[in-house]
Amino acid sequence: MHITKGERCCAILTATTLVLLSLAGCTTTVKQEAKGTFIEGDVAGGEAETLNWILAADASSFAYAGYTVESLASYDNNFNVVLRCLAKDIEVSPDGLAYTITIRDDLRWSNNSPVTAEDYVYTLKNLMFSDWLNYNYREDWMEEFGGKKVFVTPEVINQTTFTITRKTVQPEFIYTLYDLIPYPKYISVKYEGDVEKFTQAREFNELSYTGNLGPYKFKEWLKNDKFVLERNPDFFLGKDNGAPYFQQYIIKVLGTSAVMQAALEAGDITYCGIEPHNVAKFKKMDRINVYTIPTRGYNIISYNQRANGWEGLRRKEVRQAISMAVDKETIVRRIYLGFAEPAYSFIPSSSPWYTDDTVLKLGVAPLNSKQKAMEMLRSAGYEYTKNGDKNILLDKSGQPVKLLLVTTPGSDVVESMSLLIKQELSDIGIDVEVKWVQWSTLLRQYMMNKVPGSDQELRYNNGPEAVSEEPWDLSLMGHNTDPMAPSGSAVFFASDGGLNSFGFFNDEVDQLFHKIRSKDGLDKTARAGMYGQLARLISEEQPVDFLTFTRANVGFQKNVKGIEPGINMGYNSYLWRFE
Amino acid sequence: MRNYIIKRLFYSVIIAWGILTVTFILLRIGPSSPVDRYILNIAARGSDVESVRQAIEARYGLDKPLLEQYFDYMGNLLQGNWGWSFSASMPVMDLIGSHWIYSFQLILLSTIFAILLGIGLGVLSAVKQNTRFDYAASIFSFIGISIPNFWLGLMLIMAFAVNLGMFKTYYDTSYSIWSLENLRQLILPVLALGTGELAGYVRYTRSSMLDNLHKEFVTTARAKGLPERTVIGKHVFRNAMLPLVTIIMFDLGSVVFGGAYLTEIVFGIPGLGQVSFNAIFANDYAVVVAVTLISTFLVLFINLATDILYTYLDPRIRYE
């Protein structure tokens, strides 16, 4: 083949151009145009309480502030850590006691001063750990050492590096660290020591200090109506790609979910949650994309194992029998219309610590059988009598077993589930009376407890001898878990758990929780094994009947692009855009 | 009359103080705590509930003895400080100041709509008794009274906002209160809130008018040769108004506390109804007490205005 000089030159030129183009493609990102207003629908009651997030106890306040200030790290839908304000990963010392955090060097407050390691350390030492401010979650930053609770030790190393040193190993402390957001020292010092002034500080309540730390800037907040943010053109993650791509981001509060879904249907809002019974309708709409995503929420029936619950509930076999009689797949199918999955412990299947093969799957075939449940109750020493065709379970004194199930009113799902449980237990000869009580009454009279005759203050767990003011046997409640650090559920299932209101005390469970949160858990494989054991033990012990992990349905207008549906769907929301 | 009004105002202050004190004490000694709503959030973080409760109560002075809290509150109130809303993170005065207008415009417009149309239809219905118009008005009013306003609101949204696209599905606060757009977007909420009242006024007006139409003074007026318009407008209508005023004023009170709130919820109007509802659920004591106080004064004022209106409508009524 003969190639002329001209052709050779042309080929070289073409090849060079292609190489340059491909290199350009590797090093630069095509900037998208920012346009439009994204309106997220939210139902009344879910609104944030304050933008001065350090004072908040609710999750929404942290979420609202999170649009304007990034935390140290976030997670994608597979729980991979996505670094945000960090230049590099947090380094953990081999002994698990020291954490070295290096932040980016291009972070700026609104007065253009740099965000430094000093701001982070100041936030911890002078605000979160202080007595005058009473940060709600300061226990997250404490550890037990020498018989008392002490704070971890933060220390500035240089402009962009600080360390946090612990006296004891807690492998899951790193997740607390990832969520850390700084307060600007240059503003905070003005209010230091005066909680009233700090609470009312305009800079904090209007997020006017946030500089280039978040994709959006605060614009307006009319309580019970809307939270308005505008695009932050200086956002540190938007330098290369031009993100975020919405000119405005609004969270609009609507009175009911019916109105919210009507607003989505009419195109008045861009995104909102969709109730299970409306999913099919929205899926048929050309303008709407519906995604089903896992959540952190699960439902349980608690078994009162304290002295004022039915004595049978203090026995593992009885709890197992009852759990076996309640069909979780029916709950998933009939009540959640398929948008849930059976639960067997507090570790969801979406968690990296979930192990499917170790758990006892009570309430799901083949371990969902009324016949087997009745046999288990018989082997536990309980007898049956007949009333016509109906079997009646008798307690040790020969009286029919009648259990009281307490729950809160106002939710169709809870009401349907209570009635289903009543029916299921009726089939194994247990009569269930359902009692609806308001949340505060449920907490005070049924969940809080104390040792009778003592001068203890009411708490959710005052030890094994404590009982609630009113007797109860079962309670139906919804809980949340953290898939990344499920050991936080020790608050319910450990003997000293602050919310162990149902009185479950098991040394083996306590030891496993302790091991996970000690140097034994530093090795991730070892920790996974411990979580596997814990899930098995919990599913066997059945301190509660884990019913279902719920899934959420969310609807977006179809012209929204860049969404990655999943449990942490919002992690890349600054990259969402209109087509 | 002046002395009477001054006396009533003085009594109003005493009553308001009593209600404020009772509300304050009931809220504090009740079983609820501001921490209740955070329990699940605290649990999800694996935090200690007791330490969070203590932190929150200490920060907002809720850990002080009840009497100390009460005197602190009263002292601040007398200085014009209504306290700090911890569920809205702003002074209570600012919270109410930024929301009252939304309730006020809704209640005002729906009341005007209901009174004008309701009384008009009622008068015509009575004058044209047992005609097709009267039957139609009766059917309309029975339906109107029976429909709950929140359900009507949802239906109006589905029909006119979702299906016909004539309105937004929710109230948009971006429009100025004084703009035409704002007036336009209030059409559906006013219809939802006002229809029940309107229907009631049709029935009451018709019935009151019919009572008076057959009285002797009407026969006398007609015998004197007065035009029918004067007979109806001046003699019958004015007398028929007396019981109506009581009902309208009573309704105004109940609209403020009940109907308007539900309409605000359905249409996403950020009025005082929503503010107080959310404050109750958040156990935000300062807001609940403030809204109760405002409502108390409103009802007392409405009662006083009703009594004064009586003297105008019926010159025989005199207050000493």
Pull the structure tokens for residue A143: 């550890």
Place of tokens 């920012």: A34
* B168-181 mean pLDDT: 94
Cα separation of A346 and A537, whole Å? 12
Burial state string for A105-131 with b = 16 or more CB within 10 A and e = fewer than 16? eebebbeeebbbbebbbbbbebbbbbe
* A373-384 mean pLDDT: 96
A544 contacts A302 by C-beta, under 8 angstroms: yes
CA dihedral (B103, B105, B108, B112) positive or negative: negative
- Flag if B89 and A49 touch (Cβ within 8 Å): yes
Q: Where does the pLDDT of residue A348 fall: very low under 50, low under 70, confident under 90, or very high at 90 and above?
A: very high
Place of tokens 């015998």: B223
Q: Which residues of A touch B175 (CB under 8 A)?
A: none
A302 lies within 8 A of chain B by CB: no
* A461-480 mean pLDDT: 95
* A356-377 mean pLDDT: 94
Q: Which of A385, A414, A416, A380 is nearest to A398 (CA)?
A: A385
Contacts for A452-455: CB closer than 8 Å, 24+ residues apart: none
Give A145's strand partners.
A148
Q: Where are the domains of chain B?
A: 16-81, 99-313
Q: Which of B38, B44, B59 sits opposite A482 (nearest CB)?
A: B44
Determine the pLDDT at residue B46: 66
Burial class (CB in 10 A: 0-12, 13-18, 19+), A9: exposed
Cα separation of A476 and B173, whole Å? 40
The mean of the pLDDT values for chain B is 87
3-class DSSP state for residue A478? Answer: strand
A135: nearest CA partner in chain B: B55
Return the ∠ at Cα A90 (arms to A89 and A92), rounded to 5°. 125
Determine the pLDDT at residue B259: 67
Contacts for B52-58: CB closer than 8 Å, 24+ residues apart: B52/A57, B52/A136, B52/A137, B52/A139, B54/A134, B55/A134, B55/A135, B55/A136, B55/A138, B56/A57, B56/A134, B56/A136, B56/B86, B57/B33, B58/A134
B293 contacts B13 by C-beta, under 8 angstroms: no
Cα separation of A149 and A147, whole Å? 7
What is the separation, in whole angstroms, between the first and last Cα of chain B? 6
Q: Where does the pLDDT of residue A304 fall: very low under 50, low under 70, confident under 90, or very high at 90 and above?
A: very high
Pull the structure tokens for residue B89: 């993170």
Burial state string for B148-174 with b = 16 or more CB within 10 A and e = fewer than 16? ebbebbbebbbebbbeeeebbbbbbbe
* B45-56 mean pLDDT: 75
- Flag if A58 and B37 touch (Cβ within 8 Å): yes
The Cα of B259 is separated from the nearest Cα of chain A by a number of Å equal to: 14
Can you give the length of chain B in residues? 320
Q: Which residues of A touch B72 (CB under 8 A)?
A: none
Determine the pLDDT at residue A511: 97
Place of tokens 């240089």: A158
A113 lies within 8 A of chain B by CB: no
Cα separation of A64 and A56, whole Å? 11
Pull the structure tokens for residue A120: 């982070």
CA dihedral (B287, B291, B296, B297) positive or negative: positive
Q: Pairing state of beta strands A73-75 and A37-43?
A: unpaired
**Best A223, A296, A479 residue to mutate vs chain B (most B CBs within 10 Å):** A223
pLDDT for residue A8 is more than 70? no
- The residues, ordered by sequence, that sit 6+ positions from B50 with a Cβ below 8 Å of its Cβ are A459, A498
Cα separation of A32 and A576, whole Å? 10
Pull the structure tokens for residue A394: 């008798």
The Cα of B222 is separated from the nearest Cα of chain A by a number of Å equal to: 55
Q: Which of A58, A196, A205 sits opposite B41 (nearest CB)?
A: A58
**Best A198, A225, A448 residue to mutate vs chain B (most B CBs within 10 Å):** A225
Q: Where does the pLDDT of residue A18 fall: very low under 50, low under 70, confident under 90, or very high at 90 and above?
A: very low
What are the residue ranges of helices labelled H in A296-427?
Answer: 316-325, 328-330, 370-379, 412-426
Burial class (CB in 10 A: 0-12, 13-18, 19+), A285: middle
A44 lies within 8 A of chain B by CB: yes
Pull the structure tokens for residue B181: 């757009």
A283 contacts A290 by C-beta, under 8 angstroms: yes
The Cα of A463 is separated from the nearest Cα of chain B by a number of Å equal to: 15
Pull the structure tokens for residue A4: 């002329």
- The residues, ordered by sequence, that sit 6+ positions from A23 with a Cβ below 8 Å of its Cβ are none
A410 lies within 8 A of chain B by CB: no
pLDDT for residue A37 is more than 80? yes
pLDDT, one tens digit per residue, over A307-344 is: 999 999 999 999 999 999 999 999 999 999 999 999 99
Return the ∠ at Cα A154 (arms to A152 and A156), rounded to 5°. 170
- The residues, ordered by sequence, that sit 6+ positions from A152 with a Cβ below 8 Å of its Cβ are A141, A142, A143, A164, A165, A166, A173
pLDDT, one tens digit per residue, over B199-240 is: 999 999 999 999 988 888 888 988 888 888 888 888 888 888
Single-letter code of the amino acid located at A269:
I
CB contacts under 8 A, A 131-170 vs B, are 133-140
pLDDT, one tens digit per residue, over A534-563 is: 999 999 999 999 999 999 999 999 999 999
- Please state which of the ranges A18-27, A257-266, A377-386 shows the lowest mean pLDDT: A18-27
Single-letter code of the amino acid located at B122:
G
Architecture of domain B99-313: Orthogonal Bundle (1.10)
Phi/psi for B304 (5° steps) reads -65, -45
B257: DSSP letter: I
The Cα of B167 is separated from the nearest Cα of chain A by a number of Å equal to: 10
- Flag if B47 and A490 touch (Cβ within 8 Å): no
Q: Where does the pLDDT of residue A14 fall: very low under 50, low under 70, confident under 90, or very high at 90 and above?
A: very low
Q: Which residues of A touch B33 (CB under 8 A)?
A: 440
Cα separation of A87 and A107, whole Å? 11
- Please state which of the ranges A1-15, A126-140, A184-198, A466-480 shows the lowest mean pLDDT: A1-15
Determine the pLDDT at residue A21: 41
Q: E strand or H helix at A292, and its extent?
A: strand A288-303
Pull the structure tokens for residue A356: 């499917």
Q: Which of B41, B270, B282 sits opposite A222 (nearest CB)?
A: B270
Cα separation of A41 and A46, whole Å? 10
Can you give the length of chain A in residues? 579
B87: DSSP letter: T
pLDDT, one tens digit per residue, over B255-307 is: 666 668 889 989 999 998 888 888 888 888 889 999 888 888 888 888 888 88
Q: Which residues of A touch B158 (CB under 8 A)?
A: 262
Q: Pairing state of beta strands A81-83 and A73-75?
A: antiparallel
- Flag if A47 and B267 touch (Cβ within 8 Å): no
Cα separation of B110 and B193, whole Å? 6
In whole angstroms, how far apart are CA A46 and each of A60, A105, A552? 7, 35, 15
* A159-177 mean pLDDT: 95
The Cα of A459 is separated from the nearest Cα of chain B by a number of Å equal to: 8
C-alpha gyration radius of chain A = 28
Q: Where does the pLDDT of residue B40 fall: very low under 50, low under 70, confident under 90, or very high at 90 and above?
A: low
Pull the structure tokens for residue B170: 């929710």
A265 lies within 8 A of chain B by CB: yes
Cα separation of B296 and A568, whole Å? 47
Q: Which of A135, A252, A256 sits opposite B266 (nearest CB)?
A: A256
Q: Which residues of A touch B264 (CB under 8 A)?
A: 255
The mean of the pLDDT values for chain A is 91
Which of A409-418, A519-528, B15-24 tops mean pLDDT? A519-528
- B29 or A510, higher pLDDT: A510
Determine the pLDDT at residue B87: 85
3-class DSSP state for residue B7? Answer: helix
- Please state which of the ranges A31-40, A82-91, A426-435, B92-101 shows the lowest mean pLDDT: A82-91
Pull the structure tokens for residue A170: 């807690």
B173: nearest CA partner in chain A: A225
pLDDT, one tens digit per residue, over A243-284 is: 999 999 999 999 889 999 999 999 999 999 999 999 999 999
Q: Which residues of A touch B45 (CB under 8 A)?
A: 137, 140, 482, 488
- A10 or A333, higher pLDDT: A333
- Please state which of the ranges A128-137, A501-510, A526-535 shows the lowest mean pLDDT: A128-137
Determine the pLDDT at residue A28: 45
